[in-house]
Amino acid sequence: MGTISFPEGWHVYVGSAQGTAGLSRVKRHIRVASGGIAAPRWHIDYLLIHPAFSLVAVACAKTGERENECIVARILGGVPVPDFGCGDCRCPSHLFHFKANPEKIVIKTFSTLDLSASIKTINKS
């Protein structure tokens, strides 16, 4: 993707945790963010290892349909980071910038889709 400038604030990445390895991938992203894995694999991993980014929370929803990832990306709001994390779909982005903490927006978005959000705050040591 090259070099991208990110404005200060909050960023929300929308990804799918489908299939047998889905939640394992989420756990892997958390390990990447904590320095437990140094090798980036997905777009989001490159942000997670950058010292200017800090993983604060992970929100998950149980869904049987992969398409919900794109639906969440369409209705979430925020300012999209063009072409980020959406190489396997037609969405303009799966990463969005917010000036303020978007937790309530994420919960509302999940609720709109009748998805029950589970939010895990990441402990900083």
Residues 57, 89, 67: CA angle, nearest 5 degrees: 65
- Whether 3 is covered by a domain: the verdict is no
- Whether 86 is covered by a domain: the verdict is yes
> What tokens does 118 get?
């589970």
- Whether 97 is covered by a domain: the verdict is yes
- Whether 71 is covered by a domain: the verdict is yes
What sign for the dihedral angle of Cα 36, 43, 117, 77? Answer: positive
| Domain extent for 108 | 10-121
pLDDT over threshold 80, residue 84: yes
More confident residue, 123 or 46: 46
State pTM to two decimals. 0.79
- 112: helix, coil or strand? helix
Strands 57-61 and 117-121: antiparallel
Q: Residue 117's beta-bridge partner residues?
A: 61
- Whether 5 is covered by a domain: the verdict is no
Strands 117-121 and 95-98: unpaired
pLDDT over threshold 60, residue 124: no
State the total domains in the chain.
Answer: 1
> If residue 98 lies in a helix (H) or strand (E), which one and from where to where?
strand 95-98
Contacts with 121 (C-beta within 8 Å, 6 or more apart), sequence order: 56, 57
- Whether 67 is covered by a domain: the verdict is yes
Contacts with 113 (C-beta within 8 Å, 6 or more apart), sequence order: 61, 63, 68, 71, 72, 75
- Whether 91 is covered by a domain: the verdict is yes
Work out the pLDDT band at 125, boundaries 50, 70, 90.
very low
- Whether 1 is covered by a domain: the verdict is no
